[in-house]
Structures are given as C-alpha cells and as structure tokens.
Amino acid sequence: MSLVDEILRLKRERGAVILAHNYQLPEVQDIADFVGDSLELSIKAAEVGAKLIVFCGVDFMAKQAAMINDSAAVLHPDPDARCPMAAMISVDDVRKARELFPRAPVVIYVNSPAVVKAEADYVVTSANAVDIVKALESNVVIFGPDRHLAEYIAEKTGKIVIPVPPYGHCPVHIRFRTDEVRMLRSIYRDATFIAHPECPAEIR
C-alpha cells in the first residue's frame, strides 16, 4: 500500500478532515479535503463538523482552527512548522505600543500568535485590512506584525499606521528584487504583475 493510500485509509477510518494551506506542496494539497488561506481554512474547520482535523500549515493556523472549532481535535503534523513573521511579535510589544499611543486602536494581522490576537481590538486579513482601518474613527492605528503591510495600509487610508514591532516582516516576501521584476517584465511584456501587500514598497 502506498503512503497516499495509507493516509486516505486512516482518514476514512477516523473520520478525519485534512486542511492544507495554499503554500503547501502539490502532493499535500492533492490529498487534502480543503485548500485555502489560513482564515478560510479555520472557518472551514468549524463548518465541516469533523471530530478530527489535520491542519497542514504553520503553528498559528492550527491553533486558530482549534480555537474556532473547540469541539474537534486539531492535529498539527509538524510542530516545528512556524511562521517567522508571526514569531516576531509578542504580547509585550503590543502592550508597550498601547502605553505610547493609548488612544490608538490595535489592529493585528491574522497571521499572528493567538496570545497576540487576544490583545487586539481588531484582527484583520491582508484582504480586508485597508477597509477595516479606513472605517476606524482614529487617525492613528497600531498595526502588527508586518511593517510592509502596515505601510501599505497607511498608503491606502492616509492614516498614521504604527508598525509593531518596527522590524516585523515576512522573510519570503522581502526576497523579491526590483531588478528581477524588471527583467521578467521586459521578457513578458503583456504580463500583469501582481504583488502581495507584504512585499516592500519598491516591489509594490
């Protein structure tokens, strides 16, 4: 019996649901019941009604799914799978920022540890962050942990967005280089260039 067949057998026997993040390898996505981003999968975890969920993603995603669906056992296949950006922010970072800017609401990116999200006034995704910050009455907002996403939100809303911590970033998104982008655009002249807001300003 192949490894895939064995996984599918165990899934059937135990009534498990496998959730795989978009960043997973194709072979992991192929055996998953659902593929999506972290919040989408956590919501799906609550909807499926399974008693056993296998979450193929980084640690904060599995914890989030467990919080949203507390009636299920959520298994995380690789406890060492962590998001470096999520690890850059701490509860102390948020509390110190609140002391410095007591009137500013704290907006935390969903890609953060559960203990940090618990300190937030609002938790946002990259897709809805601009709309939510724009709707806030305050002209000053504390945002963590990605400074590039904070900068993007400031650009789009015209508000003062204070990044917490000041150096927070996604190590993957900062690897893109403008010279590489220019080279590719010169080769593929009709292509549309799409960038995630976690990319640095020069790439956006």
Look at the chain and report how many structural domains it folds into: 2
Q: Is 15 left (phi over 0), alpha (psi -120 to 50) or beta?
A: left
Beta-strand pair 140-144/73-75: unpaired
Domain of 8, in residue numbers: 3-75
Instruction: Count CB neighbours of 186 within 10 A.
Output: 8
> Which residues are paired to 108 by β-bridges?
123, 144
Same-domain check for residues 68 and 146:
no
Spatial neighbors of 33 by CB under 8 A, at least 6 apart, are: 17, 18, 19, 48
Average pLDDT, integer, range 120-147: 96
What pLDDT score was predicted for residue 35? 93
What pLDDT score was predicted for residue 168? 96
Strand (E) or helix (H) holding 31: helix 26-31
Same-domain check for residues 23 and 67:
yes
pLDDT band of residue 4 (cuts 50, 70, 90) is confident
Spatial neighbors of 141 by CB under 8 A, at least 6 apart, are: 104, 105, 107, 133, 153, 159, 160, 161, 162
| Boundary of a domain, candidates 34, 54, 75 | 75
Q: How far is CA 40 from CA 12, 21, 37, 202, in A?
A: 23, 9, 5, 29
* 88's tokens: 């850059």
Same-domain check for residues 102 and 177:
yes
What pLDDT score was predicted for residue 170? 92
Answer yes or no: is pLDDT of 30 > 90: yes
Residue 197, domain CATH: 3.40.50.10800
Same-domain check for residues 61 and 115:
no
Peptide bond preceding 145 in cis form (omega within 30 of 0) = yes
| Boundary of a domain, candidates 40, 55, 75 | 75
Same-domain check for residues 71 and 103:
no
Strand (E) or helix (H) holding 46: helix 38-48
pLDDT band of residue 182 (cuts 50, 70, 90) is very high
Same-domain check for residues 95 and 124:
yes
Same-domain check for residues 161 and 109:
yes
| Boundary of a domain, candidates 58, 75, 92 | 75
Same-domain check for residues 71 and 9:
yes
Q: Give the predicted TM-score (pTM) of the model.
A: 0.87
Same-domain check for residues 142 and 46:
no
Same-domain check for residues 51 and 103:
no
What pLDDT score was predicted for residue 50? 84
What pLDDT score was predicted for residue 67? 86
Residue 163 and residue 190 in contact, taking contact as beta carbons nearer than 8 Å: no
Answer yes or no: is pLDDT of 104 > 80: yes
pLDDT band of residue 176 (cuts 50, 70, 90) is very high
pLDDT > 90 fraction of the chain, expressed in percent and rounded = 72
Same-domain check for residues 58 and 115:
no
pLDDT band of residue 51 (cuts 50, 70, 90) is confident
Same-domain check for residues 125 and 192:
yes
